[in-house]
């Protein structure tokens, strides 16, 4: 089994150092359970604003260093997305980090309308992360609306992943849509789905209420955060439950 922690937090636009300090204090005060994986909201250290490029330039590796520092301190692995400038292009990049350093990355494929789509380059490949005895598919926010991108293909009779992770910035009132889509992704892919969303107002003036939750492979909500409140949600994901469902109802092939 694995226990995951989802950090639903406010994010001050562009204030990387302040946001990181706030996460450190939040973890000290509110992380009461032992977890093997901690997942932060999309653009966890800077949020969204009118100029993601300036956020990327100002970051200077602090967000990635924070993810590794947390992994070392709490003996877990961490996940979060960061605006990254590479060879002149800007990406919304997810990092999967262990205490030893980055394990995997994923560049967001489905960029949201407007500024993100105008500023960023979309990724073209999914990333399956095999770690902690599980296989994960980490995706980002707007990706949740594209079921073909999260399809759990079978390779030699074995599903590609056991848990689908979405790190998100879904604004009010669409957090309800986020939860409905996440439940659907769990059912159609016979996998756990964990989604972590932010609260507060971003740099574009959009309000966020949260909607952080974990779903079992039949789309039942296992755990959730209160709306409009900073909170760490934890849930334990047993592999035997997943194996039993897939055996009873082998819809994945």
Six-digit token string for 232 = 């760490």
Residue in 46, 108, 116, 120 annotated catalytic: 108
Six-digit token string for 47 = 């949020």
Residue in 76, 141, 160, 163 annotated catalytic: 141
Q: Is 112 helix (H, G, I), strand (E, B) or coil?
A: coil
- Residue 101 pairs in a beta bridge with 98
Among 193, 191, 160, 190, residue whose Cα is nearest residue 179? 193
Answer for the pair 136, 127: CB distance below 8 angstroms, yes or no: no
Six-digit token string for 224 = 């959730």
Taken in order 179, 233, 166, 250, the sign of the CA dihedral is: negative
Among 124, 132, 57, residue whose Cα is nearest residue 97? 132
Residue in 42, 77, 116, 160 annotated catalytic: 42
> 12 catalytic, yes or no?
no
Q: What is the dihedral of CA 28, 34, 40, 44, to 10 degrees?
A: 20
Answer for the pair 179, 213: CB distance below 8 angstroms, yes or no: yes
The helices-and-strands tally (H runs, E runs) of the chain is: 6, 16
| Alpha-carbon gap, residue 69 to 48, rounded angstroms | 23
Answer for the pair 77, 71: CB distance below 8 angstroms, yes or no: yes
> 176 catalytic, yes or no?
no
Catalytically annotated residues: 42, 108, 141
């Amino acid at each position: 089994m694995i226990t995951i922690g989802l950090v639903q937090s406010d994010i001050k636009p562009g204030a990387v150092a302040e946001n990181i300090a706030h996460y450190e204090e939040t973890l000290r005060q509110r992380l009461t359970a032992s977890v093997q994986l901690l997942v932060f909201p999309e653009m966890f250290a800077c949020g969204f604003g009118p100029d993601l490029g300036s956020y990327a330039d100002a970051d200077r590796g602090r967000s990635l260093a924070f993810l590794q520092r947390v992994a070392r301190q709490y003996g877990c692995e961490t996940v979060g997305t960061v605006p990254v400038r590479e060879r002149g292009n800007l990406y919304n990049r997810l990092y999967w980090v262990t205490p030893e350093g980055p394990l995997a990355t994923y560049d967001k494929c489905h960029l949201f309308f407007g500024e993100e789509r105008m500023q960023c380059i979309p990724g073209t490949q999914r990333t399956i992360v095999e770690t902690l005895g599980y296989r994960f598919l980490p995706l980002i926010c707007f990706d949740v609306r594209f079921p073909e991108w999260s399809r759990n293909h079978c390779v030699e009779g074995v599903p590609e992943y056991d848990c689908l992770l979405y790190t998100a910035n879904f604004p009010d009132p669409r957090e309800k849509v986020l939860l409905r889509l996440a439940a659907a992704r769990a059912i159609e892919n016979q996998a756990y789905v964990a989604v972590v969303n932010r609260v507060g107002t971003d740099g574009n003036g959009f309000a966020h209420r949260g909607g952080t939750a974990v779903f079992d492979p039949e789309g039942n909500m296992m755990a959730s955060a209160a709306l409009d409140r900073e909170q760490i949600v934890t849930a334990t994901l047993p592999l035997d439950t997943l194996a039993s469902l897939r055996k009873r109802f082998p819809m994945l092939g």
